[in-house]
Chain A
Amino acid sequence: MKVSSRHKLHLVVTLVTAGFALLAFAPAAKADGGVAVDLSEIAVEDHLDPGRRYELPRITVRNPGDEPSSYRMSAGGVGDDGLLDPVDEWFSFEPNIFELDAHATQAVVISLRLPEDVPPGDYSGLLRAELLPEGEGSLVGVAAGARISFVVTEPGDLGAFLRWLVSIFTALMPWSYIVPLVLLAVLVSALVQRRFRIRIEAR
């Protein structure tokens, strides 16, 4: 049975008027592809402090398929009982969105910036490398994930203050050693000169 274009138009107008939604005109959506990562878990054993930024181990993303594909990095919770969910906005990925040729890989730098008001406690979530499906309508996506876990301390904790001191000391090396040593040497020298008179002469 042939349907004229006028009748087709009439049919569409009728359906729209009747309150139909047009969903997923396949095969407009292309979902074939894949994704792989080289880590399954990152467990941060040091306690982390609110308001600070941490660099995490890199994760390598691989395109296992035979076609070039686009990928996006993200993070989220897994709804583990008794554990807090990390928030995607706390993480930054470099690069965040990228393309990979068939079987190519991309190393991704991950950092975590905890807000000042982050609730203390045990966190458990996922870092995801997600295949970006193309097209419109009902899409099927896949992601390869790695678990991440960390503990956030109470603000004002003495341990947090000590870790802050150590991190400053580490960040400023070697000056964190040199400056206090020079300062100490000068102070000792000044004290010695004040109390003793040293005279060095060639004989």
Chain B
Amino acid sequence: MRNSKKGNHLAGRRAALLFAVTLALVMVAPVSAADNGSVPGQVSVVGGGACIEVAGVFTFGLQPFSPDGAIGPTLSSTGATITNCDATAPADILARGTAAVSSTDAEVVWDLNTTIASDGCPTVGTDQYGHAVFSVQTGLGIFLSLVDTPTFGDQLASGATYDIVPQLYMPCEGSGGAGHTMNFSAIFTALQG
């Protein structure tokens, strides 16, 4: 009888120990799962990704700030060409721009503005610039914003090219950056499907 009680006590202690270990593991689990990351169970992946190539640069040279009541586009003296280098599929072409930042003073920044041509100076304010791109082939184009946006209408066929003509709208007089080289980009993103 005494042996039976002792056995029961021992089994109870074992069970308590295992319960404590299990509890500890469960408490640690959320941290482990969050740190390691988990793969979502249902993910559908479509292959056959996009391919795009670019050649050429935009050259705007030396430009004055825009005076009040007279804002107009500046054309680049050179153009760029983008090519859908995928062997089989057409691609949507999206475009986005960036802020313009001085190459010598990072605090001199011009923000990208999509309404500068209609607002004009001085309405649009200082330190705002506009950057538009057009396709020679489709004649369509957009003012660049910071978000990828469908640009030239049709999809670009496999192996086909778009010749890109850019336009620049200089900031209003009184903006910063006089005498600086300003760095900015037009980025064309190819997307299949």
Contact = CB atoms under 8 A, between A and B. Distances in A.
Nearest to A182: B18
B29 A21 contact: no
Nearest to B55: A32
A193 B58 CA distance: 86
B139 interface: no
Given A21-B177, A29-B57, A52-B34, A133 B42 contact: no
A29 B182 CA distance: 12
B4 interface: yes
Contact of B46 (A39, A128, A168, A186): A39
Given A34-B52, A41-B45, A23 B57 contact: no
A16 B177 CA distance: 10
Contacts of A59: 49
Interface string A34-70: 1111111111111010011111110100101100000
A55 B36 CA distance: 9
Given A40-B47, A54-B40, A179 B191 contact: no
Q: How many B residues touch the partner, as a band?
A: 35 or more
Contact of A142 (B33, B54, B78): B54
B186 interface: yes
Interface residues of A, number: 85
B138 interface: no
B80 interface: yes
B132 interface: no
A23 B53 contact: no
A131, A150, A168, most chain B CB atoms within 10 A? A168
A40 B168 contact: no
Nearest to A197: B4
A18 interface: yes
A141 B80 CA distance: 10
Contact of A145 (B38, B47, B50, B56): B50
B60 to A, nearest CB: 4
B134 to A, nearest CB: 14
A130 B187 contact: yes
B136 interface: no
A73 interface: no
Given A144-B189, A171-B32, A45 B59 contact: no
B59 A26 contact: yes
Contacts of B57: 24, 26-27, 29-31, 135, 138-140
18 contacts: A16-B179, A19-B64, A20-B179, A26-B57, A26-B78, A32-B56, A39-B45, A40-B48, A55-B39, A64-B53, A64-B85, A77-B147, A138-B168, A139-B183, A140-B185, A140-B188, A142-B82, A193-B8
